[in-house]
């Protein structure tokens, strides 16, 4: 198979601030594989979590290194390709893009969307949450209004873990609740709290009706999750603490669910393994995203019937998404009926 890649830059309609910083623009990588006149597409987007920082330059360099090693393989040989990428310790976002592209090729080869190949039920897909980044109370309220004008919002995911402390977190969340009192709320601290603050905030968040809390403690502080779970009235999900199926057994006794992202996991193949591993331990599952375009989020939407919660909203906040794919219906991100990933290129947006 032939493999090529192209860089493309996307800009957010509203910059997103979390506990680790603010993002307004990213340069992602569009990976294309071709064989037998069929082209499969994947996406690698940069992200940074502790020592697992994958920049655009890192992604580009890894692709330049590994592409010559894969030219002799076929898209039918995903297992062998995955083994080569593991041996070469290729960054997970690069593995995700190549795995996505091979799945896209497969679907196009047989003329079916991936969700149908896997026998999944689109009616089981839940609404996606949309994200409110760290902001002033006034800024957060304005962002809520923006989202409500833009689409049929069923769930808000509110980023907390403000550098100004938990009092600032409370005031911001109160502003969100006042603006959308009937909308369900989740909270994601992105590892921005200490154990003591997390215990205090979980009790307060439960009192104001938040459904669950995600990544309350920093990556590397997983041993404290046991103490938090003992005291927390809210379900605890982890994101930055859980990259792949190998992490799940070590976390299973201390959390209630995991956030699966294609860029962390290394693609649809590993995401499927993570779902099954999590279920075996009685955990709930959500799918999330980084600064992904419609390409990666439509890929994740193919697996959406397997998730309890979805947070696939990054493409909705882009002003220049070069792709179209997943459909929006009643607050849900739905895969379409086109073969493979069901993604098309929109030259007018690029």
Q: Do 149 and 75 belong together in one domain?
A: no
Choose one of 110, 133, 155: the last residue of a domain.
Answer: 110
Buried b / exposed e over 327-344, threshold 16 CB at 10 Å, is: eeeebbbbbbebbbbbbe
Q: Do 121 and 100 belong together in one domain?
A: no
Asked whether residue 350 is assigned to any structural domain, the reply reads no
Ramachandran bin of 93, using left for φ above 0, alpha for ψ from -120 to 50, beta for the remaining angles: alpha
The pTM assigned to this predicted structure is: 0.95
Tens-digit pLDDT profile for residues 289-301: 999 999 999 999 9
Tens-digit pLDDT profile for residues 84-97: 999 999 999 999 99
On the question of pLDDT at 212 being above 90, the answer is yes
Tens-digit pLDDT profile for residues 1-19: 999 999 999 999 887 888 6
Q: What is the mean pLDDT of residues 31-54?
A: 92
Distances (CA, A) of 336 to 115, 226, 262, 298: 9, 41, 19, 9
Tens-digit pLDDT profile for residues 219-238: 999 999 999 999 999 999 99
Looking at the chain, the whole-number percentage of residues with pLDDT higher than 70 is 98
Q: How many CA atoms lie within 13 A of 180 on its CB side?
A: 27
Q: Do 125 and 20 belong together in one domain?
A: no
Q: Provide the CATH number for the domain around residue 326.
A: 3.20.20.120
Structural domain for 48, as ranges: 2-110
Residue for token digits 């993604």? 343
At 209 the pLDDT is 96
Residues 6+ apart with CB under 8 A from 214: 157, 186, 187, 188, 189, 236, 237, 238, 239, 259
- Residue 240: which of 105, 49, 65, 66 has the closest Cα? 49
Who has greater pLDDT, 14 or 80?
80
Q: Do 243 and 262 belong together in one domain?
A: yes
Residues 6+ apart with CB under 8 A from 164: none
Position 21 confidence tier, pLDDT thresholds 50, 70, 90? confident
């Amino acid at each position: 198979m032939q493999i090529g890649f192209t860089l493309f830059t996307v800009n957010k309609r509203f910059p997103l601030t979390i506990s680790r910083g603010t993002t307004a623009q990213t340069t992602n990588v569009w990976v294309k594989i071709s064989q037998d006149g069929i082209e499969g597409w994947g996406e690698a987007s940069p992200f940074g979590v502790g020592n697992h920082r994958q920049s655009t330059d890192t992604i580009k360099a890894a692709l330049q290194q590994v592409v010559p090693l894969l030219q002799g393989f076929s898209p039918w040989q995903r297992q062998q390709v995955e083994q080569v990428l593991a041996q070469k310790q290729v960054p997970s976002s690069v593995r995700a893009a190549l795995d996505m592209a091979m799945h896209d090729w497969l679907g196009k080869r047989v003329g079916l969307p991936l969700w149908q190949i896997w026998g999944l039920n689109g009616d089981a897909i839940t609404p996606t949450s949309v994200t409110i980044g760290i902001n002033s109370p006034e800024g957060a309220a304005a962002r809520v209004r923006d989202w409500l004008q833009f689409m049929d919002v069923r769930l808000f995911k509110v980023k907390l873990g403000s550098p100004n402390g938990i009092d600032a977190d409370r005031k911001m969340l109160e502003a969100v609740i006042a603006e959308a009192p009937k909308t369900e709320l989740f909270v994601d601290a992105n590892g921005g709290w200490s154990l003591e603050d997390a215990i205090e905030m979980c009790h307060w968040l439960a009192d104001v009706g938040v459904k669950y809390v995600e990544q309350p403690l920093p990556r590397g502080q997983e041993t404290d999750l046991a103490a938090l779970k003992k005291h927390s009235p809210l379900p605890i999900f982890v994101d930055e603490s859980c990259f792949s199926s190998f992490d799940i057994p070590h976390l299973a006794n201390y959390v209630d669910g995991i956030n699966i992202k294609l860029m962390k996991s290394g693609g649809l193949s590993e995401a499927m393994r993570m779902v099954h591993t999590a279920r075996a331990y009685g955990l709930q599952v959500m799918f999330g995203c980084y600064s992904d375009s419609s390409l990666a989020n439509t890929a994740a939407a193919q697996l959406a019937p397997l998730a309890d919660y979805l947070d696939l909203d990054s493409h909705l906040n882009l002003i220049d998404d070069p792709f179209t794919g997943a459909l929006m219906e009643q607050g849900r991100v739905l895969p379409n009926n086109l073969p493979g990933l069901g993604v098309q290129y929109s030259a007018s947006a690029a």
